[in-house]
Amino acid sequence: MINRPVLVLNQNYEPLNVCHVRRAIVLIYQSKAEMLENGAGFVHTADRMFPIPSVIRLPHLVKRPFHVNRKLTRMEVFARDGHMCQYCGRQTRQLTLDHVIPRFRGGQHTWENVVSACVTCNRKKAGRTPEEAGMKLRHTPAPPHTDRYSYIPSQYLQSRREWERYFPH
């Protein structure tokens, strides 16, 4: 419950970041933020009860530099690849990361060299290139599209419907 994501908005309602419920409650309690959306439920302490926020807003404007590159994480690679194995096309939540050119052979840990792979295909490919393993990539790996809100992890944008109204379409 305390680790649920909370959307943090700037004074002008622009999405800034995502934090956990615990941090959001502290910001609200210290009057450094206000709750805009209730996350349904309460956190109980020994003598108080706090509503669980889903969206908070800062009372002062925070200048944020424009981010050009998305951070390379497991969840972002899986989201980019549609939670689909890039070798067999099976859609599953049991995915691993695969380096197209293995790292021990000089492959880099970059968007252009990392893909989602099911466990079976990852084992079949092992420490070889797709050509050596007789496997073909479904899509050429590339960095995901970068937009103004790319610093908000995409898995949150898909799962938190109450956040949609704070992001322009």
Q: Which sequence spans correspond to the domains of the chain?
A: 5-64, 74-133
CA 130 to chain centre: 27
Per-residue pLDDT of the chain (169 residues; tens, 9 = 90+): 677 889 999 999 988 888 999 999 999 999 999 999 887 788 888 898 888 999 999 999 988 766 666 788 898 899 889 899 999 999 988 999 999 999 999 999 999 999 999 999 999 999 999 999 999 999 999 998 766 555 566 666 666 778 878 877 5
Is the distance from CB of 86 to CB of 141 less than 8 angstroms? yes
CATH second-level architecture of 74-133? Orthogonal Bundle (1.10)
Global pTM reads: 0.57
**Rounded distance between C-alpha atoms, residue 80 and residue 78, angstroms:** 5
Residues near 9 by beta carbon (within 8 Å), at least 6 away in sequence: 15, 16, 36, 55, 56, 57, 58, 166
